[in-house]
Amino acid sequence: MRSARRGAGLVALAAITALVLTACGGGGGGSGAAVGDATGGAAKAGNDINPVDPAQLRQGGDFLWSLASLPPQFNRNQVDGTEADNADIMNAVMPIIFKGDAQGVLNPDPDYLESAEVTGTNPQVVTYRLNPKFAWNNGRAADWTDFEAQWKARNATNPAFLVAGTTGYTDIAGVAQGATPQEVVVTYAHNFADWRSTFVPLYPRETNADPQVFNEGWLNQPIVDQGAGPFMFDSIDRTAQRLTLVRNPKWWGRTPVLDRIIYVGLDYNAQPEAFANGSLSFLEIGPSVPFFQRAQQVPGAVIRKSNGPNYRHITFNGAPGSILEDPAVRKAIMKGIDRQIITQSQIGPIVPDARPLGNHLYVEGLAGYQDNSGVVAFNPDAARQELDAAGWTLQGDVRVKDGKQLTIRDVIPTGTPVSEAEARIVQQQLGQIGVQVTIDPVPLDNFFEQYVYTGNFDITHFAWLSTQTPVSSSSGIYRVANELGQNYGRIGNDTINQLLDQANQELDPAKQRDIVDQLDQEIWNAGHSLLLYQRPDAIAVQSNVANFGAFGFADEDYTAIGFTQ
């Protein structure tokens, strides 16, 4: 199960040990939540994909790509289309006009864009110049009307469009033609720093002009004549859980090395043996030490690793009336949890030098990362003193205030060994400072819907997925607003809100990073959530697979994937 860094809107991608949620955002950046991640580690530069000049590879062949299941919706901009599995398919079929590199920097894809730049700042204006060869499979040249239609579909003005998210699109005041139909001029109502996250992926006006096509036209299979990528849809067999893409004869860019990409929906626990017997071209090791150990036994297999965008954390519930409403109590409890022990216990077998994460917006490997977690560094003596000062005094083994015991409910999903292990460690460690933890396993299928979304917890464990545009995509997690958004613990303040606004509107990357540093410090000071550890990509492939593996923050180049001679 590969993670979609560029998805938008809330989405669940279920497997035996994982459930992924993607945060509300624009077409580009989106955060996500995952249950069951268990790999992670210290930052490693770049990625690990065995780079080889595509011209030197064996031309042709099939690449067997595992999915948890075939997606229910192939429009990635529709609310049901943001599964990670769908991104793995549709990113080979549709225009991804900006692609992330190994450092998480978004760059224009020259197959689609000759240039894209901010051409005005008061108001902000972005001008896109399309590659004149950029055309949809129906033969129509892509032009400014495709951008206009997607803006109108996703800017929340027409509720008939059931969109994945509106971030970025609601900031736009207008889309117009420039000097030619292939020059697109986007004017913003106010500055939006992560403008590269919009129009990714781009769908044609034939989809975005009609709510019925937008919502239902892509349900059964991709619409072939509305694609514009190196591959195109060939066939689908939902009974056998197989979807096949073939080279697109209308593609104007570099001819793909592969003949076909065959996506195989397969039970999560069956994937290691399928990889071992050659039924899959790669195995995502992800959260599983047993997967890691099994991959090590496969003849000819190599394990490629890089720093990845996911990270585990513990969300605290600070809603009015909750037992953890007081930020001083939340921070004291955080000081009673040894994050290094949790990190080593969960991911040490795969990444021995793993260390806890220290920044809520930037993971290690992204420019601007700075560890600000010192304010909640493990210090059980300080934790005891601060709980005493907050009025929670020890009576026997448990602290009490106003006749009420300091007992907190840790809600975790069933069938997720990572959450279970983390919860047991937290229970043991907090018991040492007089905080009683009750572990409450709830059904995986409704963990988010009935517990996380509704604030039905005191603390809970899952993972967020970072992106190349973390500021805009994470805003809903930390903002306090009339609507809940994804701030499930209801923790925040006006200072955090103001810094989020400043960071989202600051076009200078260096200045934005300074603001984000202040913002992260405020989030730690508020006792919002306790970050645990970052996981890298860990992918097993046969040694003859080239230009594929642990992509880290980068996006795949589907034309380059292939096999050595």
CATH number of the domain encompassing residue 329: 3.10.105.10
Residue 282 β-bridge partners: 541
Please give the pLDDT value at position 484: 67
Please give the pLDDT value at position 490: 94
Phi and psi for 343 in degrees, rounded to 5? -60, -50
CA–CA distance, 562 with 560 (Å, rounded to integer): 6
Please give the pLDDT value at position 483: 67
Residues 6+ apart with CB under 8 A from 425: 338, 341, 342, 345
CA–CA distance, 435 with 269 (Å, rounded to integer): 37
Domain contains 27: no
CA–CA distance, 373 with 511 (Å, rounded to integer): 21
Is-contact 252 111, C-beta < 8 A?
Answer: yes
- Give me the tens of pLDDT residue by residue for the chain, a chain 565 residues long: 343 333 333 232 222 233 344 444 443 333 444 544 443 333 345 789 999 999 999 999 999 999 988 998 999 999 888 777 899 999 999 999 999 988 888 999 999 999 999 999 999 999 999 999 999 999 999 999 999 999 999 999 999 999 988 889 999 999 999 999 999 999 999 999 999 999 999 999 999 999 999 999 999 999 999 999 999 999 999 999 999 999 999 999 999 999 999 999 998 889 999 999 999 999 998 757 788 899 999 999 999 988 777 889 999 999 999 999 999 999 999 999 999 999 998 888 888 888 999 999 999 888 899 999 999 999 999 999 999 999 999 999 999 999 999 999 999 999 788 899 999 999 999 999 999 999 999 998 789 879 998 999 999 998 887 777 888 888 889 988 876 678 999 999 999 999 999 999 999 999 999 999 999 999 999 999 999 998 767 899 999 999 999 998 899 999 999 999 8
Please give the pLDDT value at position 449: 79
Please give the pLDDT value at position 346: 86
CA distances from 192 to 89, 188, 189, 318, 486 (A): 29, 7, 9, 30, 20
Handedness of CA 271, 90, 465, 469 (dihedral sign): positive
Name which of 494, 474, 487 is nearest 24 in CA terms: 474
Domain contains 221: no
Encoded tokens for 374: 């010192």
Please give the pLDDT value at position 8: 37
Phi and psi for 295 in degrees, rounded to 5? -65, -35
Phi and psi for 253 in degrees, rounded to 5? -90, -160
Beta strands in 402-527 (DSSP E): 404-405, 407-413, 436-442, 459-465
Range of the domain at 510: 308-536
Place of tokens 């970052």: 534
Place of tokens 């595992």: 66
Encoded tokens for 321: 């009336």
Is-contact 391 326, C-beta < 8 A?
Answer: no
CA–CA distance, 196 with 64 (Å, rounded to integer): 31
Please give the pLDDT value at position 208: 98
Domain contains 413: yes
Is-contact 172 484, C-beta < 8 A?
Answer: no
Domain contains 495: yes
Q: Any idea what DSSP says for residue 258?
A: -
Domain contains 481: yes
Side chain identity, residue 348: G
CA–CA distance, 242 with 265 (Å, rounded to integer): 6
Domain contains 450: yes
Please give the pLDDT value at position 536: 67
What angle do helix axes 339-347 and 417-431 make, rounded to 10 degrees?
A: 150
Beta strands in 194-351 (DSSP E): 231-237, 242-247, 260-265, 282-284, 301-316
∠ CA 444-448-454, rounded to 5°: 135
Please name the residue ranges forming H helices in 116-237: 144-154, 205-208, 211-216
Please give the pLDDT value at position 85: 86
Please give the pLDDT value at position 166: 86
Name which of 408, 422, 331 is nearest 377 in CA terms: 331
CA–CA distance, 317 with 307 (Å, rounded to integer): 29
Please give the pLDDT value at position 285: 86
Please give the pLDDT value at position 206: 98
DSSP annotation string for 162-185: -BS--TTTTTEEEEEE-SSTTEEE
Please give the pLDDT value at position 32: 46
Domain contains 420: yes
- Number of independent structural domains in the chain: 1
Domain contains 276: no
∠ CA 17-19-22, rounded to 5°: 155
H or E stretch covering 218:
none
